[in-house]
Structure 1
Amino acid sequence: MIYIHFIINPISGSGKHNLSASYILSQFSKEEYKIQVDYTNQKKHAIVLTKAAITRNPDYIIACGGDGTINEVASCLVGTSIKLGIIPVGSGNGLASNLNIPRNFDKAIAIIKKGNSTAMDVGQLNHKYFFSNMGIGIDAMIIKKYERAGKRTLPAYIKAALSSSLEFKPQKTIVHYNDQIVETDPLMLFISNSNEMGYNMSLTPKASLHDGLLDMIIIPKLSFPEKIMLGYHVLRNSIEKFEKARHFLVKNIQIEMPSKIFIDAQIDGERYNLKTNKIKVSILPGALQVLVL
């Protein structure tokens, strides 16, 4: 018998998805599967629920939510033999899109039943994990404003981006990577494991979850017209045509912001205030087993 533990974030995305325990239970025969369903009721609750589920030794733990919920569940599964499954009900769903996991509940559950898995790379930022991407530039401010908007929609994201483009002030940043040291005042310092940010947008369209490398994008301070052009290329997924965007393949990065005490970051689309001005970012090859088509 296969034991599958589902963790549902009821307010992911618009909070209007109708994924329920009764629907999930109706999709699995009692003869073949043992099914447990939990609901989160606040941020970080998925971590508590996942750790409790791990003690019961399930075969799969399924994150039902967006990239933030997936991060909380998957962070507890790194280095274990328990397979992560995903039913994407978030707003951006960047990681699920990269993994070709559809938003259709029946099709996502069919992937879970099939049981095929792959080992994907995991990014690590100090003691936190990321599975899609992280950033310490304007994207961190965008996420902060986006969360405050209370609406997880693409127009709300674009509004937050426009507002941030007027307010964000780049800070001196020292970046160590590939035996090089670079001093920059970045509008954006973005490090990605996956090929999509969400909403079908990407700064790293050639990134792979399986190559043992992270894709780093550094974009310097820009004039306002250049910011508009950058936004155009992000929306069109044509960042490679934006000449001021520098792209690097890296395994380990050290970042210091000497004028800061704490660093604001976004990690898988969620805002964090890191209680340090130095961070280390690295790749953990094949550290997570995830169910795929």
Structure 2
Amino acid sequence: MTYIHFIVNPISGNGKHNISASFIQNYFPKDQFKIEIDNTTHKKHAIALTKAAVANKPDYIVACGGDGTINEVASCLIGTTIKLGIIPVGSGNGLASNLNIPRNFERAIEIIRKGTVSSIDVGKINDHYFFSNTGIGIDALIIKKYEHSGKRTLVAYVKAALSSSLEFKTRKTILSLDDKKIEANPFLLFISNSNEMGYNMSLTPKASLNDGWLDLIVVPQLSFIEKMLLGYHVLRNTVENFKKAKHTLIQELTIEVPAAIYLDAQIDGESYNFETNVIKVSIIKSGLMVITE
């Protein structure tokens, strides 16, 4: 018998989904599956629920939510033998899209029922994990404004991006990688493990979840016209054609912003604040087992 624990974020996707205990149990016959279900009630609640579920040693823990919920659940599975399942019900759903997990609930559930497993790499930024991407440039400010808007829509994201492009100030940043130090003033400093950010947008369309590398994109300070051109390329998924975007494959990176006391970051589309001016990024190869098609 397969033991599956579901962690459901009831407000993901503006709370319009119909994923409930009765809905889930309809798809998992009691003679084949042991099912347990928890609902989150606030941000970070999925972490506590997942840790409690891990103690009971289920075969799978399934995150029903957006990239933020998935991050909270998946972060608790690093170093365990428990597999992550995903039912994407968020607004962006970048990781699920990269894994070809459909937004159709019945089809996503069928993938979980079949139980085909593959491994993916995991990114680490200081003491936090990321599965899609992270960044400390303009994207961190965009996500901060996006969260403050209280709306999880593409329109709200675009508004946050336009506002941030006018407000964001670059700072001297020292990047240490491959035994060398690079001084930069990045407008965008983005590190990706996957080929999609969400909303079908990508800065790293050639990135792979299981190639053993993270994709680093650094874009320097830009003029207003250049910012608009970068935005065009982001919407077209052609940032690789933007001449000022420098792309590097990395496994380890240290970022220092000497003038800063703390640093804002976005991790899988959620806003974080680090009480330090030094950030260390690394990769855990094949660090997570995921149920995929």
TM bin (shorter chain): over 0.9
Distance 1:144 1:280 in 2: 21
Note if 1:67 corresponds to 2:67: yes
CA separation in 1, counterparts of 2:72 and 2:35?
A: 20
What is the letter of the counterpart of residue 92 of structure 1?
G
2:135 aligned partner: 135
Q: CA deviation at 1:79?
A: 1.7
The separation in 2 between residues aligned to 1:112 and 1:15, in whole angstroms, is: 22
Partner of 1:148: 148
Q: For 1:282 and 1:54, how far apart are their aligned partners in 2?
A: 25
Q: TM-score under structure 2 normalisation?
A: 0.99
Q: What does residue range 31-110 of structure 1 map to in structure 2 within 5 Å?
A: 31-110=31-110
Distance 2:252 2:75 in 1: 19
Runs of 4+ in 1 over 2 A off after TM superposition: none
Query: 2 CA distance for matches of 1:249 and 1:25?
Result: 43
Partner residue in 2 for 1:192: 192
Asked whether the 8 Å contact 1:98–1:196 carries over to 2, the reply is yes
> 1:235-287: CA deviations, max 9, x gaps?
00011110000000000000000000000000000000001100110000001
CA distance in 2 between counterparts of 1:15 and 1:168 reads: 32
Between the aligned partners of 2:108 and 2:52, the Cα distance in structure 1 is: 24
- Paired residue total: 293
Aligned equivalents of 2:204, 2:149: Cα separation in 1 = 26
Match of 2:240 in 1: 240
Q: Which residue identity does 2:231 align to in structure 1?
A: G
Q: Which residue of 2 aligns with 1:287?
A: 287
Aligned to 2:9: 9
SS in 1 for 2:13: coil
Deviation (angstroms), 1:44: 0.5
1:206 alignment partner, SS class: coil
Across the aligned residues of Structure 1 and Structure 2, the Cα RMSD in angstroms comes to: 0.6
Match for 2:182: what amino acid? V
Letter in 2 for 1:47: I
> Does the residue aligned with 1:57 lie in a helix, a strand or coil?
coil
- Mapped to 2, the partners of 1:229 and 1:35 lie a distance apart of 49
Does the CA-based 8 Å contact 1:8-1:40 persist in structure 2? yes
2:172 corresponds in structure 1 to 172
Unaligned 5+ runs, structure 1: none
**Residue pair 1:171, 1:186 contacting (<8 A) in 2 also:** yes
- Cα distance between partner residues in 1 of 2:14 and 2:190: 26
Q: Distance in 1 between matches of 2:254 and 2:144?
A: 24
Deviations 1:62-107 (A, max 9, x none): 0000000000000000121000000000000000000000000110
Aligned partner letter, 1:227:
K
- Matched-pair contact (CA < 8 Å) for 1:14–1:153: no
Matched with 1:259 is 259
Q: Which amino acid aligns with 1:108?
A: A
User: Could you tell me how far apart the structure 2 residues matched to 1:180 and 1:215 are?
Assistant: 18
The residue type paired with residue 141 of structure 1 is L
Gaps of 5+ in 2: none
Q: Does 2:157 align with 1:160?
A: no
Counterpart residue number, 2:26 = 26
Structure 1 CA distance for aligned equivalents of residues 242 and 18 of structure 2: 40
For residues 120 and 111 of structure 2, what CA distance do their matches in structure 1 show?
16
Q: Secondary structure at the match of 1:235?
A: helix
Q: Percent identity?
A: 68
| Amino acid in the other structure paired with 1:258 | P
Aligned pairs (5 A) from 1:193-212: 193-212=193-212
Q: Distance in 2 between matches of 1:241 and 1:119?
A: 31
Tell me the CA shift for residue 179 of structure 1: 2.2
